Amino acid sequence: MHLAEHARRDPDSLALVVADTGLRMTYGELDDRSARVAGLLQHAGLREGDVVALLTENSVLSAEVYWAAMRRGLSFTPVDHSLGVEEIAYVINDSGARALFISESMSELAGSLAALTPHVEVRFVRGSGIEHHEDYEGALSSASVSVGDTWNGSELVYSAGTTGRPKGVRPLGVYGAAPDDRAGPARHIAPCCGITANTVCLCAMPLYEPTSLQAFVAVQMAGGTVVTLAEPSAEAVLGAIGRYRGSHALCSVRVLSEMAGLPRATRARYDLSSLTLVIHTAAPCPAEVKRELLEWLGPIVCEFYGAAEGNGLTFITGMEWLRKPGSVGRSVLGTVRVCDADGHELPEGRVGLVYFDRPGRSFAYSNAPELTRSVMHPWRENWTTMGDIGYLEDGYLFLVDRKEFALTKDEGVVYPREVEDVLAEHPVIADVAVVGMHDGQEQLRLRAVIRAADGTDVGPVLARELIEHVSDRIAHWKVPDKVDFVRELPRVTTGKLIKRKVAAHYTVIDSVAV
């Protein structure tokens, strides 16, 4: 069911809580405010298929603008606020947004964005006094509710940009579809996670992240309660679970890693008796972190693997992961196909390029037809790939690495993730990336870029210890030739590594050839 139906059936049911401020909003209130936002957009002349962009932290504004877009048949584009101002402007311009909403905490960017996004026709900001922007609350207080809502909007989301510029993903076959048929991944998340009207889901991931947005949609389509955190930390998440009796928690790998590292005495301070499921997505979770969480919380830690493209989705429960450690699960949307370089399907156990097979094409990249064609199977256009390398085992998908990260040496192909996983098992490793560098003779050398745990004495002794650790576990030609210790590795807020920036942008503390 969509928002208005829940508002009619149970207007006083709690739709949203902002844990940072304690603000609560019922379905009746959210329905009324989103209808007024839709009225503003209708009055501004936006038509079905037009784009509405949103720049905000997790907040009430996210829900109000999202549901307003759905009511009017518009495309909703949430913008990653961790991007630089020029990247934010790129997303807004590339999407073709006619309307832009900005939260009060992001309002300092409004002036710069106005100059960089001249094609945006209407701009709203929470807070007043910003030239060429309407005050959001003021406009909402005098707005009429929209008329003739179609409830056939969609999401035009952008990838995180970890492998290049953010890519806009436009779902195909959306307009005119019934809301339940249009829900895409959200419709599959709900049954996997047991989401019902009684669900209280703590969303500790940004709602611009596609799977996080789909989880938010799944909960509110079921009539449950979403609890958001704008600045999640491990203890903030644990505290909010106890305070709001959270049944589900959607967390980034960064937050889960913090949780796994908490002392037992700290963990014991929090009441987690209401918690039935912890969900993570968007980035690989280190195996040792997942094992620690499963030992602490029990087999309630589950994982989704998917992408902004929404072309497929896999899911794995905690119990399944214990039987198939390292797997991202079995498909719940689309059929997984693993193919060789020529497009021929491979049997289970063979490593190849991972495709999702859907009955028809499910997406296209915005303003990028060549890019859209590049992710299609050579002769089956409804099979699409996100560039991940993996294999199947008893129907379970295991990811090896991304195709673009694979490194070719004379002895064979090195998948950096394999080396990273081995290094991550060492107790002093806080973060790691393995990249390929060419020496003066154009020979490929492997470099391990490492952030050691706080207080660790980095240098030649530790470098040799780490190389010995790797040498004991994998083939000699996969062992790094060099170790660099850095203060930080570039990651997006969900925890995904921006590997393209590693070689060019990290600051070396100590570089040790081994």
pLDDT band, residue 88 (cuts 50/70/90): very high
Report, at the CATH architecture level, how domain 27-176 is classified.
Answer: 3-Layer(aba) Sandwich (3.40)
Residue from 495, 2, 430, 3 nearest 206 by CA: 495
pLDDT band, residue 182 (cuts 50/70/90): very low
pLDDT at 310: 86
What's the pTM? 0.86
Residues 6+ apart with CB under 8 A from 493: 80, 82, 205, 206, 209, 252, 254
Residue from 164, 101, 166, 192 nearest 309 by CA: 166
Report, at the CATH architecture level, how domain 183-318 is classified.
Answer: 3-Layer(aba) Sandwich (3.40)
34, amino acid identity? S
* Burial class of residue 233, CB neighbours in 10 A (0-12, 13-18, 19+): middle
pLDDT at 309: 87
**Which stretch of DSSP H or E encloses residue 226?**
strand 225-228
pLDDT band, residue 161 (cuts 50/70/90): low
The answer to whether the beta carbons of residues 64 and 30 sit under 8 Å apart is: yes
pLDDT at 436: 84
* Burial class of residue 142, CB neighbours in 10 A (0-12, 13-18, 19+): exposed
Two domains, one topology: 27-176 and 334-403: no
pLDDT band, residue 163 (cuts 50/70/90): low
pLDDT at 267: 97
User: Residue 393 phi/psi, 5° resolution?
Assistant: -145, 110
pLDDT band, residue 179 (cuts 50/70/90): very low
pLDDT, average across residues 481-500: 83
Instruction: Look at 107 and 244; give whichever has higher pLDDT.
Output: 244
Question: Over 50: is that where the pLDDT of 41 sits?
Answer: yes
Multiple choice CATH, 334-403, 2.30.38.10, 3.30.499.10, 2.40.50.100, 3.40.50.10490 = 2.30.38.10
Range with the largest mean pLDDT of 268-272, 413-417, 474-478: 268-272
* Burial class of residue 13, CB neighbours in 10 A (0-12, 13-18, 19+): middle
The answer to whether the beta carbons of residues 390 and 351 sit under 8 Å apart is: yes
CA–CA dist 147, 157 (Å, integer): 26
In the block, which residue shows the tokens 């920036």?
501
Domain extent listing, the chain: 27-176, 183-318, 334-403, 406-513
Question: Over 90: is that where the pLDDT of 46 sits?
Answer: yes
pLDDT at 435: 87
Question: Over 70: is that where the pLDDT of 164 sits?
Answer: no
Multiple choice CATH, 406-513, 1.10.3720.10, 3.40.50.300, 3.40.50.720, 3.30.300.30 = 3.30.300.30
In the block, which residue shows the tokens 């980035």?
283
pLDDT for 362-374, tens place per residue?
A: 899 999 999 999 9
